Each structure stands twice: as C-alpha cells, then as structure tokens.
Amino acid sequence: MMQKEALISPRWLTKIYVLIDIGCVVSQIIGAVLPASGDPSSIALSKKVLLGGLITQVVALSFFILTCWHAHEQIKRRPDYELPVDPSISWQNHFRALELVTAILILRSVVRAIEFLQGEDGFVASHEVFIYVFDALLVFLIMLVFLILHPGRLIRSARQQSKSRFEIENNILLESRG
C-alpha cells in the first residue's frame, strides 16, 4: 500500500496500533487488579481505568476500521494499481474480512464498556446471555473468519510474487550486461 492510499503511513501503522493495543490491555489489567486491595478508592479508580482502556480501544478500533476502509476504497478506485498478489486470491475479501473482524471487536468492546458502566448489578452483568452472545460468540466468529480467510495466504502470495519480480529484474540486468 502506498502512502496516498493510507491515512497513516504504512511504516507507522502497525507500530501505532500495537502500542495503543498494549496500552489498552495494560490499563484493563490494572483496572482488574486494583480492586484486590479492597480499598474503596482503589475500586472506584479501577473502574475508571478499565473503562478508559475500553473506550480507548473502541476509539482506536474505529479509527483502524476507517483507515482500512479508506485504503480499500482508494485501491478499488484505481484500476491501474497493481497489487503484489496472486490473481486467484481476492485481496478485496481480505479487506472485507479485516473490516468485519474490526467491527465485531468494536461491538464487543462497546458491550463490555456498557457492562462496566452499569456495574456488577447492571442488566448486562446479571444476564449470562450477554457473555455468550457478545463475548464467546463474537470471538468464535472472529476465529472462524480468519480460519476461512487466513491473512497468511495473502502475505505468502505477495512475498512470492515480489521474489519472482526481483529474480526477473536481476536476470534482465544480467542479460543486458552480458
């Protein structure tokens, strides 16, 4: 993906989202551990920290899905854009899978945030169906999407095609010298 197709430089994209994700996970761990002290102020702080991590995660995932959608649309609009992928692999399906999985993660995070806003006695926390539908089922769907459409195949294809192009260019260069 070239810079003009991306909202964020592809060089920085992974670094930014990994750092945000680590921050969100750490804040959620801190929020889960703080109540162990039994101090009422620590319990109140833990809810705020945990909720802050969940809200940050929703915002980051929302920006990520926007970034994916933007790149997907930019590439679709340029018929001359040559993707380093085997033509038998639908790169658009990989974008759709990534967008779907991100939307599922956003939904899961929003439900978790609502659960923590309502507290332990809230409607979401007191009904098991929310755990099964908005946690277990959604994570299962994410695994199923990536099982059916594993991103490794796309990456492998791009690397093989890149390697083939490099070999062809080297052969042309050697022939022109000889």
Tell me the C-alpha distance between 128 and 171, whole Å. 63
CA-CA distance, 94 to 101, in Å (whole number)? 11
Assign 1 a pLDDT band (cuts: 50, 70, 90): very low
Determine the pLDDT at residue 84. Answer: 57
Contact 115, 125 (CB under 8 A): yes
Per the domain annotation, does 77 fall within a domain?
no
Q: Is 125 helix (H, G, I), strand (E, B) or coil?
A: coil
Same domain, 61 and 131: no
Q: Specify whether 114 is located in the same domain as 171.
A: yes
Q: How far apart are CA 27 and CA 21, in angstroms?
A: 10
> Residue 73: inside a domain, yes or no?
no
Is residue 94 one of the residues assigned to a domain? yes
What would the mean pLDDT of 4-33 be, rounded to a whole number? 85
DSSP 136: I
Query: Is residue 76 in some structural domain?
Result: no
- Residues 104, 61 share a domain: no
Which H/E stretch holds residue 54? helix 40-77
Whether 151 is in a domain gets the answer yes
Tens-place pLDDT, residues 75-121 = 888 766 666 556 667 778 888 999 999 999 999 999 988 988 888 88
Q: How confident is the model at residue 175 (pLDDT cuts 50, 70, 90)?
A: low
Count of the separate structural domains present in the chain: 2
Task: Report the predicted TM-score, pTM, of the whole model to 2 decimal places.
Answer: 0.77
Does 59 map to a domain? Answer: yes
Over range 126-153, report the average pLDDT: 92
Task: Print the domain residue range for 38.
Answer: 1-68
- Convert the pLDDT of each residue in 127-138 to its tens digit: 999 999 999 999
Residue among 52, 149, 61, 165 nearest 105 (CA): 61
pLDDT of residue 44: 85
Residues 6+ apart with CB under 8 A from 34: 42, 43, 45, 46, 49
Which pLDDT band holds residue 160 (cuts at 50, 70, 90)?
A: confident
**124 and 57 in a common domain:** no
